[in-house]
């Protein structure tokens, strides 16, 4: 994938992950939203992994 | 003589002889007298005297009456006597000459002959020309007898002159005649020789000389005729000529004769048959022989065998025709070559390495955008046409080719007088003389600008394809992940209070996720990997429907104008994609007018024909033209050429992705249309969008542009979800269940069919991914629809590289929801499909 686009998407995913982790840190252990938040984080991390895999020759 | 005697003649002669003897004796003094006894007188003397007188008288009579001139001169050459005849001849009196020298009557040359005559007197005879007293002349035969005294002394001369003028004239005439005869003889001899030569010539074996009668019978048959026709003279003589020759002549013998007798000659050519049956080509000349009255008596013909000449003429004509044909072929070939060179944008050139003079073929000037008069004359002048950046390279390459005896192959640029840059391929060969000195460089230049452009397009296409494949491969999974991110974000947001401080953070998450999703979607768009849902679209309605949205996008500094054709044809396109095109072009125009300006939308119907359509990269046919024009900053040619290249941007870093116009290009290409750009720096830019019009008779109704979607998104129906991505499947199920639906889910088609087999009557909607392991979503629906015709379907699409793309867009009435989707979008589309008509059987089994 083009470096520019890759860079842009990575930045956006970084935003997703960043805010999601902030929320997770602030969230109580039994918060009912924790599961959803973890799904978000897992999906965003997987997306970054996807981009990295695409860069490999 | 009269003596009174009547003697007998014989006695008379005797007596006369006796008398003469007596006289002679008396004169000689031998006797003194003759006495007559009867008269006692010297009778005989008297008689002798009488006889003498009579004799003198007789002689005088003779002298005076002779026809010859008698001229007596004394020893001093003084005329003593001339008779009458002499005087007559001299046309003077008889005594006129007496006392004068006879020489006075002679010409000077004759005088010389007599100059010494007295000293050597001797008989002399000669023809002498005398001069008369009146000055005239006559010829006389001079017979000179010298006279001597009894003592032997020269006494004088007796000259007898006979006028021989007539004889002389006759002799002269005879002599002249003789001379004439000699001359004529000579002439005749010459003529004879000439005739012999002519005869020899006429009898040359090469020519046939035939003399024929007026009845066309052979009177003479030359050796040449025998050689030419094979008939001997003996065989030919007397026979009619047509029996021997059988000439193939358009004119009959009578017709030829008619012309011959008038003109005196006739010439013609024809084919003659020989004795052996062969035919020869002959050129003949006929002449007519006439008698003294001018009447024709014979015909002479001289015929020459021109078979070789005719053959040569035929061969020459054939060669001329062949030459003409080859010339025509050559010209045609030359014309074709010129045309081919011109069509192929090729030209031939030659450089003299010594003088550096350049020779161009006729196609070269147009190749370089100059006129023939502007064509360079030297290699230095040619280099001025070459792009400055390529001159050194070209010159070095040429010098290297000459030095290394290698072929020159090079690509370079030239700048036309109008400033445009063109690409050329140069191929050249150096020609050397026997000494190894380069004598000329022959080359061919080909303009390859189009090829270069195509190469660039191809490279861009490959780049786009590579990017598209890469993006497509990532996009499917990426969209699934984004679906999860956005879906769960919505769940959380819905449960958070309006004042919850975490809501702002979550909004950032959603915004970032949506932007990442948009990027991926654009990537799919320009790589033409999206699933299209083409419908018949009223482009005017679409433009007007987006007016408010676009106005907010561009701001108040830009005035928007519409010039929309009232009878605009419908176009066949995906509405959502057209909205994307309009939005991207509008954003591009906005960015080109940072201080405001004018943005116009113009629609019209156009019919593109070849080669215009080909130049746009689309087929001939009916199109709707949407022109989006701004009066902004415009762009340079180099920018324009790269405008649709993915990731190409003129914006500052971070301000643009370089995918906006690439997306436009991709969408339009996938739709079957195209886009072209015209731009002038400082004056603005116009994008001409061509969209294929709806084929007449298409049963589909026009789809309203930007349809309003709304209403309740909750339901109670039963939905079967088929999604191989667990995260998406579970999220989807959760959204739908929260909206009141009853949901079954399956991770693949086989599992779905198993579920459907149990709950077919209960399931109202199949919500399935398009691409799944095993069979596709479309095939799954087809199978299930066979079991329950009233089943409805909504496809979910992330990446569509699989069967759907290969088989074309989804069929009419098939609904598609692009991943990633929001909960609201999912509920809205589910509701629409459930409440909408039942789709027709797909028939894709």
DSSP state of B362: T
Nearest to A19 among B482, B509, B731 (CB): B509
* Residue B666: closest CA among B806, B527, B523: B527
The DSSP result for B249-264, as a single string, is -SS-HHHHHHHHHHHS
Do B85 and B127 meet the contact criterion of CB atoms below 8 Å apart? no
DSSP helix/strand/coil, B329: helix
Distance (Å, whole) CA B550 – CA B543: 9
Q: Do residues B734 and B699 touch, judged by C-beta distance below 8 A?
A: no
Per the CB < 8 A criterion, the answer to whether B691 and B585 are in contact is no
Asked whether the beta carbons of B178 and B186 are under 8 A apart, the reply is: no
pLDDT at B426 over 80: yes
Nearest by CB to residue B647, choosing from A2, A13, A44, is A2
> In this model, does residue B805 exceed pLDDT 50?
no
Tokens 């004598």 correspond to B439
Give A52 to chain B, closest Cα distance, Å. Answer: 10
Residues of B in contact with A28 (CB under 8 A): none
Structure tokens at A40: 């978000």
- Cα nearest neighbour of B655 on chain A: A8
Alpha-carbon gap, residue B352 to B440, rounded angstroms: 5
Residue with tokens 């991207």: B584
Q: Hey, which residues 635-694 in chain B have their CB within 8 Å of chain A?
A: 646-647, 657-659
* Residue B176: per-residue pLDDT: 80
DSSP assignment letter at B41: B
Instruction: Please answer yes or no on whether B502 and A23 come within 8 Å at the CB atom.
Output: yes
pLDDT at B1: 40
Instruction: Supply the DSSP symbol for B372.
Output: G
Cβ–Cβ below 8 Å for B657 and A16: no
* pLDDT (tens digit per residue) in B503-526: 888 888 888 888 888 777 766 665
Rg (CA), chain B: 72
Rounded to 10 degrees, the C-alpha dihedral B63/B64/B67/B69 comes to 70
How crowded is the C-beta side of B451, counted as CA atoms within 13 Å? 9
pLDDT score, position B804: 45
Residue B460 corresponds to which tokens in the numbers above?
């861009």
pLDDT band at B115 (very low <50, low <70, confident <90, very high): low
Q: How confident is the model over B637-647, as a mean pLDDT?
A: 78
pLDDT at residue number B686: 94
pTM for the full model? 0.39
12-31 of A, contacting B, C-beta below 8 A: 12-13, 15-16, 19-20, 22-23, 26-27
Name B776's Cβ contacts closer than 8 Å, sequence gap at least 6. B770, B802, B803, B804
pLDDT the model gives residue B35? 62
Q: What is the pLDDT of residue B493?
A: 87
* Cα–Cα distance measured from residue B275 to residue B243, given in angstroms and rounded to the nearest whole number: 10
CB contact under 8 A, A8 and B492: no
Find the closest chain A residue to B502 by CA distance. A23
Q: What pLDDT is attached to residue B496?
A: 84
For residues B772 and B748, is the Cβ–Cβ distance under 8 A? Answer: yes
With a pLDDT cut of 90, the percent of chain B lying above it is 19
Banded pLDDT at B470 (limits 50, 70, 90):
low
pLDDT score of B42:
55
For B668-687, the three-class secondary structure string (H helix, E strand, C coil) is HHHHCCEEEEEEECCCEEEE
Total residues belonging to chain B: 845
B463: which 2 tokens? 């780049």
Model confidence at B744, pLDDT cuts 50, 70, 90, reads: very high
ipTM value for the complex: 0.94
What integer is the mean pLDDT of B584-600?
90
Is residue B728 predicted with pLDDT exceeding 80?
A: yes
CB contact under 8 A, B474 and A1: yes
Can you read off the two tokens belonging to residue B419?
């400033």
pLDDT winner (highest mean) among B134-143, B407-416, B454-463, B664-673: B407-416
The answer to whether B466 faces chain A, any CB pair under 8 Å, is no
pLDDT in tens, A11-54: 788 888 888 888 888 888 888 888 889 989 998 888 888 877 76
Please tell me the predicted confidence (pLDDT) of residue B689: 93
As a whole number of angstroms, the distance between CA B75 and CA B170 comes to 36
Separation of alpha carbons B25 and B33, rounded Å: 10
Q: At what angle do helices B749-759 and B777-787 cross, to 10 degrees?
A: 20
B792 with B839: CB under 8 angstroms?
yes
Asked if B516's CB is within 8 angstroms of A50's CB, the reply is: no
Bridge pairing between strands B571-574 and B742-746: unpaired
pLDDT over 90 at B165, yes or no: no
Give the mean pLDDT of chain B: 81
How many of the other CB atoms lie within 10 Å of CB of B448? 17
Instruction: Please count the residues of chain A.
Output: 57
What pLDDT band is residue B708 in, cutting at 50, 70 and 90? very low
Do A40 and B471 lie within an 8 Å CB cutoff? no
Tell me phi and psi for residue A55, to 5 degrees: -75, -20
Question: Smallest CA–CA separation between B478 and chain A, in Å?
Answer: 6
Q: B89 with B161: CB under 8 angstroms?
A: yes
CA neighbor of B447 nearest in space, from B367, B516, B553:
B367
DSSP code of B240?
Answer: B
B256-265 long-range contacts, Cβ below 8 Å, gap at least 24? B256/B286, B257/B214, B257/B296, B257/B299, B260/B286, B260/B287, B260/B288, B260/B296, B260/B299, B261/B288, B261/B296, B264/B288
Chain A / chain B CB contacts < 8 angstroms: 99
pLDDT tens digits for range B194-226: 666 665 655 555 688 899 999 999 988 988 888
Looking at beta carbons, which residues of chain A come within 8 Å of B511? Answer: 15
Q: How is residue B731 written in tokens? A: 């999220």
Predicted pLDDT at B687 = 94
For residue A44, what is the enclosing H or E element?
Answer: helix A34-55
Q: B484 is written with which tokens? A: 């999860």
Q: What is the pLDDT of residues B549-576, one digit of tens each?
A: 788 778 788 899 999 998 899 998 888 7
Asked if residues B158 and B83 have their Cβ atoms less than 8 Å apart, the reply is: no
Question: Which of B481, B505, B520 comes nearest A22 by C-beta?
Answer: B505
Q: Structure tokens of B320? A: 């001329």
Distance from CA of A15 to the nearest CA of B (A): 6
pLDDT value, residue B640: 83
CA dist., res. B647 & res. B822, Å (int): 28
- Please report the pLDDT score of residue B605 as a whole number: 92
Tokens coding B801:
């590289």
């Amino acid at each position: 994938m083009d470096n520019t686009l890759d860079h842009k998407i990575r930045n956006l995913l970084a935003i997703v992950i960043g805010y999601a982790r902030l929320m997770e840190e602030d969230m109580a252990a039994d918060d009912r939203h924790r599961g959803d938040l973890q799904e978000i984080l897992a999906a965003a991390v997987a997306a970054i992994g996807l981009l990295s895999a695409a860069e490999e020759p | 003589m009269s003596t009174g005697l009547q003697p007998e003649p014989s006695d008379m002669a005797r007596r006369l002889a006796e008398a003469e003897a007596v006289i002679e004796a008396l004169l000689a003094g031998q006797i003194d007298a003759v006495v007559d006894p009867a008269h006692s007188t010297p009778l005989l003397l008297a008689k002798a005297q009488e006889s003498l007188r009579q004799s003198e008288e007789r002689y005088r009579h003779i002298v005076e009456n002779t026809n010859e001139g008698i001229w007596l001169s004394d020893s001093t050459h003084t005329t003593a006597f001339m008779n009458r005849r002499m005087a007559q001849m001299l046309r003077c009196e008889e005594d006129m000459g007496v006392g004068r020298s006879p020489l006075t009557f002679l010409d000077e040359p004759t005088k010389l002959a007599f100059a010494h005559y007295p000293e050597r007197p001797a008989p002399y005879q000669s023809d002498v020309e005398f001069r008369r007293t009146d000055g005239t002349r006559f010829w006389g035969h001079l017979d000179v007898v010298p006279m001597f005294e009894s003592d032997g002394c020269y006494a004088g001369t007796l000259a007898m002159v006979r006028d021989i003028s007539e004889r002389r004239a006759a002799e002269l005439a005879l002599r002249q005649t003789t001379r004439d005869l000699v001359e004529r003889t000579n002439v005749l001899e010459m003529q004879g020789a000439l005739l012999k030569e002519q005869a020899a010539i006429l009898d040359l074996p090469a020519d046939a000389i035939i003399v024929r009668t007026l009845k066309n019978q052979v009177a003479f048959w030359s050796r040449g005729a025998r050689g030419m026709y094979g008939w001997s003279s003996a065989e030919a003589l007397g026979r009619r000529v047509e029996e021997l020759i059988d000439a193939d002549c358009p004119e009959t013998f009578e017709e030829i004769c008619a012309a011959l007798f008038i003109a005196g000659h006739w010439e013609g050519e024809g084919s003659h048959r020989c004795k052996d049956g062969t035919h020869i080509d002959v050129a003949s000349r006929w002449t007519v022989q006439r008698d003294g009255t001018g009447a024709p008596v014979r015909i002479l013909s001289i015929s020459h065998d021109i078979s070789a000449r005719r053959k040569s003429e035929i061969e020459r004509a054939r060669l001329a025709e062949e030459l003409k044909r080859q010339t025509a072929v050559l010209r045609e070939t030359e014309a074709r070559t010129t045309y081919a060179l011109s069509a192929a944008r090729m030209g031939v050139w030659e450089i003299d390495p010594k003088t550096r003079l350049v020779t161009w073929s006729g196609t070269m000037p147009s190749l370089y955008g100059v006129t023939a008069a502007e064509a360079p004359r030297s290699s230095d002048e040619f280099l001025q046409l070459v792009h400055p950046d390529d001159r050194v390279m070209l010159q070095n390459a040429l010098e290297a080719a000459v030095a290394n005896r290698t072929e020159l192959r090079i690509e370079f640029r030239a700048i036309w007088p109008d400033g445009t840059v063109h690409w050329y391929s140069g191929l050249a060969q150096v020609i050397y003389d026997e000494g190894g000195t380069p004598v000329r460089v022959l080359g061919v230049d080909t303009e390859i600008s189009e090829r270069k452009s195509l190469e660039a397009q191809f490279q861009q296409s490959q780049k786009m394809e590579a990017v598209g494949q890469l993006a497509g491969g990532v996009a499917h999974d990426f969209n699934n992940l984004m679906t999860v991110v956005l879906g769960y974000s919505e769940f959380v947001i819905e449960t958070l209070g309006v004042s919850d401080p975490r809501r702002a953070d979550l909004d950032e998450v959603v915004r970032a996720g949506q932007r990442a999703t948009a990027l991926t979607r654009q990537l799919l768009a320009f790589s033409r990997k999206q699933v299209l849902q083409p419908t018949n679209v009223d482009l005017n309605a679409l433009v007007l429907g987006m007016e408010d949205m676009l106005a907010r996008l561009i701001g108040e500094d830009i005035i928007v104008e519409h010039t929309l054709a009232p009878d605009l044809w419908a176009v066949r396109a995906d509405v959502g994609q057209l909205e994307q095109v309009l939005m991207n072009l509008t954003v591009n125009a906005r960015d080109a007018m940072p201080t405001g300006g004018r943005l116009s939308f113009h629609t019209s119907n156009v019919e593109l024909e070849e080669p215009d359509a080909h130049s746009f990269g689309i087929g001939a046919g009916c199109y709707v033209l949407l022109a989006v024009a701004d009066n902004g900053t415009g762009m340079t040619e180099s920018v324009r050429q790269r405008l649709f290249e993915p990731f190409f941007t003129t914006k500052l870093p971070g301000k643009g992705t370089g995918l906006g116009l690439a997306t436009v290009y991709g969408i339009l290409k996938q739709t079957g249309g195209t886009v072209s750009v015209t731009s002038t720096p400082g004056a603005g830019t116009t994008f001409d969008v061509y969209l294929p019009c709806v084929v007449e008779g298409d049963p589909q109704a026009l789809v309203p542009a930007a349809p309003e979607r709304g209403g309740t998104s909750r339901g109670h129906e039963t939905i079967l979800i088929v999604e191989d991505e667990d995260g998406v499947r579970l999220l989807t199920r959760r959204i739908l269940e929260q909206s009141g639906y009853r949901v079954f889910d399956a991770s693949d088609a086989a599992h779905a069919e198993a579920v459907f087999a149990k709950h077919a009557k209960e399931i109202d909607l199949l919500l399935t991914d398009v691409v799944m392991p095993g069979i596709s979503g479309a095939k799954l629906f087809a199978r299930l629809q066979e079991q329950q015709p009233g089943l409805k379907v909504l496809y979910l699409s992330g990446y569509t590289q699989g069967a759907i793309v290969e088989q074309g867009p989804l069929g009419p009435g098939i609904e598609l929801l692009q991943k990633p989707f929001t909960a609201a979008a999912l509920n809205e589309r589910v509701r629409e499909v459930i409440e909408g008509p039942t789709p027709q059987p797909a028939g894709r089994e």
